[in-house]
Amino acid sequence: MKFNENLANLVSYEAGKPIELVVREYGIDAKDVIKLASNENPYGTSPAVVKAVGEIVNKMHLYPDDSYFELKAALASKFGVSEKSIVIGSGSDQVIEFAVHAKANANKGILTAGITFAMYEIYAKAAGAHVFKTKSKEHDLGEFLQIYNAKKDEIGVVFLCVPNNPLGGCLDAEEIYKFLEQIDADTLVVIDGAYQEFAKFKDAKKEIKPRELIAKFPNAIYLGTFSKAYGLGGMRVGYGIGEESVMSELGKLRAPFNITTLSLKAAIEALKDEEFVKMTLETNFEEMKKYEKFADKHGIKRLPSFTNFIVFEFERQNASELAQNLLKKGIILRDLKGYGLNAVRITIGLPSQNDVVLKQIGGNLK
Ligand SMILES: *Cc1c(COP(=O)(O)O)cnc(C)c1O
């Protein structure tokens, strides 16, 4: 059978390995597996969310309220924007897909950092769009502008991942605003804030305020997710915030009931428990210090992180081999070989998990 030719050069997104795989392949008890490969919340989910979802599990035969009225109202009030400037996605991944399909095609490509979230490229290629990347791995806005100015007519969407997954660095809000001033009103700029809660907790200069962003720059949209700080990765809820006329276009691409009845409830309740998020952020950066100290002590290169993960880059050590050795012990890390790096990305886990992981890495160092 012949398929759409855009699929020919598409590579599937490599998700973090699941706990089930380690149980099957290495015979390790599921409860002993330490999964620090997908930047999930190690503290789980707010107990209030678990309770609220438990109370409506008998409603799963019903479609959710497709207007997502209550969730949009809560997000609108949190960010000081109108309900009409919000689009809900099955994870913010889906809003990325809406953005790409709304603007990119065979004549209009996308522009991203050299190493960044892989889904931008996957959706772009699926739409037959060209992917322009900076040579710099992290976001170098000077280089972004150079490429943009040279290829303006061929670029429909610019992606800024702040903070950047899988590396962990983060642009300042001011730098982004200065950059936006030099971008045409017809180019969509997507600010992916999947880890914004972490970044602004660590450094106020990193905070992107969606209301301010879209008021100044109607061609920019902000993306947020419940998958990281809010601990709802398995529920698949994310959102986009943008100027109303932009979001009504993106919204045309949304299928009805694109999140579930249970996910909707979970997201609404999660927004009410900011204490849980605060605890997550505090412990994350406390625990990250263990990794920083360890790296410095052993001469491992670590990238500065404004997120819930840290990257260890190696010189002598083969990172893939290290990740494989740890996998056999039931520890799942993310090997960054696919990004051309001899490095692993480690989600900051529970204190006890971090101790085990560092001990195992230490035992494997060359
Ligand atoms: C996790 C992540 C997302 C979105 O995840 P969803 O679970 O689809 O909401 C988006 N961008 C980046 C950079 C991420 O790391």
Q: How many domains does the chain have?
A: 2
Question: Residue 13 is part of a domain; what is its CATH number?
Answer: 3.90.1150.10
Is there an atom of ligand 1 within 6 Å of 91 CB? Answer: yes
160 shares a domain with 53: yes
40 shares a domain with 51: no
* Distance from residue 319's CA to the centre of ligand 1 (Å): 24
| 116-154: pLDDT as tens digits | 999 999 999 999 999 999 999 999 999 999 999 999 999
179 shares a domain with 86: yes
Is there an atom of ligand 1 within 6 Å of 263 CB? Answer: no
Alpha helices, DSSP H, located in the chain: 19-26, 47-54, 69-79, 92-103, 118-126, 141-151, 173-180, 196-202, 210-216, 244-251, 261-270, 274-298, 319-328, 351-364
299 shares a domain with 189: no
Cβ neighbours of residue 300 closer than 8 Å, sequence gap 6 or more: 294, 312, 313, 314
Nearest-atom index, ligand 1, CA of 192: 11
Tell me the pLDDT band of 270, cut-offs 50, 70 and 90.
Answer: very high
Is there an atom of ligand 1 within 6 Å of 210 CB? Answer: no
Nearest-atom index, ligand 1, CA of 227: 7
Mean pLDDT for the chain? 96
Question: Which residues constitute the domain of residue 116?
Answer: 47-272
| 27-85: pLDDT as tens digits | 899 999 999 999 999 999 999 999 999 999 999 999 999 999 999 999 999 999 999 99
28 shares a domain with 57: no
156 shares a domain with 170: yes
Is there an atom of ligand 1 within 6 Å of 198 CB? Answer: no
235 shares a domain with 183: yes
